């Protein structure tokens, strides 16, 4: 469902500290308009990255948690009473995974927009610099285009991630119920006949232990 590079990203995100880095989210010096544009772009790139990271974590869970394989095993050899729910859960998981794939374009553009954010932060503090005068208008235009592109992408992918996480949670709950039911059935099963015992060997005539 998701490229290995995205899975690595998900792992890094999962290990990242929850406390923001010093100065994170604080725009560089510049005009109020440029600072607001910087904030909007910084938020859009971060939100899109985190949303796609959530999908990557789901992909990791599906692959290594063997969600499809476990449900398929129940559909093949499991109790008839559990097959209907297993089939519904599998269909829901497949539908949500497909919708998640469709929500992420082949080239989301997050990395390109991160470079635009870098350029905006580089030029906005020195608008009178000759190089900034030449490039800042185009950087502003590209920054605005990135916000328009990534903000809805982050929202769309975030919604799909929530739905896919919900499908996995439903399967997890089903697994717990199934395991508890199996344990209860085993505990309530009637005990079988006692195992046959072999008669002890007779002691030697001397009375010594054999």
Q: CB count, 10 Å around CB of 124?
A: 23
Q: Give me the number of domains the chain comprises.
A: 1
Q: Is the pLDDT of residue 42 over 60?
A: yes
With both helix axes pointing from N to C terminus, report the angle between 80-103 and 130-188 in degrees, rounded to the nearest 10: 180
Predicted pLDDT at 148 = 96
Q: Is the pLDDT of residue 198 over 70?
A: no
Q: Tell me the three state secondary structure of residue 210.
A: coil
Q: Indicate whether 147 belongs to any domain.
A: yes
Q: Indicate whether 5 belongs to any domain.
A: no
Predicted pLDDT at 164 = 97
Q: Indicate whether 153 belongs to any domain.
A: yes
Q: Indicate whether 80 belongs to any domain.
A: yes
Task: Specify whether the CB–CB gap between 97 and 62 falls below 8 A.
Answer: yes
Q: Indicate whether 146 belongs to any domain.
A: yes
User: φ and ψ at 86, to 5 degrees?
Assistant: -60, -40
104-132 per-position pLDDT tens digit = 988 888 999 999 999 999 999 998 899 98
Q: Indicate whether 165 belongs to any domain.
A: yes
Q: How far apart are CA 85 and CA 177, in angstroms?
A: 12
- The mean pLDDT of the chain is 82
Q: 203 to each of 152, 182, 196, 207, 209, how far by Cα in Å?
A: 88, 47, 22, 6, 7
50-77 per-position pLDDT tens digit = 999 999 999 999 999 999 999 999 999 9
What percent of the chain has pLDDT above 90? 63
Q: What angle do CA 104, 165, 85 make, to 5 degrees?
A: 120
pLDDT confidence band for 7 (50 / 70 / 90):
very low
Predicted pLDDT at 186 = 53
Weakest-pLDDT range from 85-89, 148-152, 181-185, 202-206: 202-206
Domain that holds residue 172: 34-183
> Averaged over 84-103, what is the pLDDT?
95
168-178 per-position pLDDT tens digit = 999 999 999 88
Q: How many residues does the chain have?
A: 210
Q: Indicate whether 99 belongs to any domain.
A: yes
Q: How far apart are CA 143 and CA 29, in angstroms?
A: 17
Q: How far apart are CA 197 and CA 210, in angstroms?
A: 19
Predicted pLDDT at 179 = 80
Q: Is the pLDDT of residue 5 over 50?
A: no
pTM: 0.71
Predicted pLDDT at 81 = 86
Q: Indicate whether 44 belongs to any domain.
A: yes
> Averaged over 139-150, what is the pLDDT?
96
Predicted pLDDT at 203 = 43
Half-sphere exposure of 138 (CA within 13 A, CB side): 6
């Amino acid at each position: 469902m998701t490229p290995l590079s995205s899975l690595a990203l998900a792992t890094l995100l999962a290990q990242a500290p929850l406390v923001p880095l010093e100065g994170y989210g604080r725009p560089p010096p510049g005009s109020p308009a440029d600072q607001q544009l910087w904030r909007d772009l910084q938020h859009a790139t971060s939100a899109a990255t985190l949303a796609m990271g959530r999908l990557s974590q789901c992909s990791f869970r599906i692959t290594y948690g063997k969600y499809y394989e476990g449900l398929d095993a129940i559909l093949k050899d499991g109790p008839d009473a559990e097959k209907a729910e297993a089939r519904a859960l599998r269909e829901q998981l497949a539908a949500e995974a497909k919708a998640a794939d469709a929500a992420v374009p082949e080239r989301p553009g997050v990395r390109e927009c991160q470079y635009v954010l870098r350029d905006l932060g580089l030029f906005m503090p020195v608008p009178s610099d000759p190089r900034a005068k030449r490039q800042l208008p185009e950087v502003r235009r590209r920054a605005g285009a990135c916000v328009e592109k990534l903000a809805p992408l982050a929202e769309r992918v975030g919604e799909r991630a929530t739905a896919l996480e919900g499908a996995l949670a439903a399967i997890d709950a089903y697994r717990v119920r199934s395991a508890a039911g199996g344990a209860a059935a085993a505990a309530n099963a009637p005990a079988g006949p006692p195992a046959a015992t072999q008669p002890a060997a007779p002691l030697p005539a001397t009375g010594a232990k054999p």
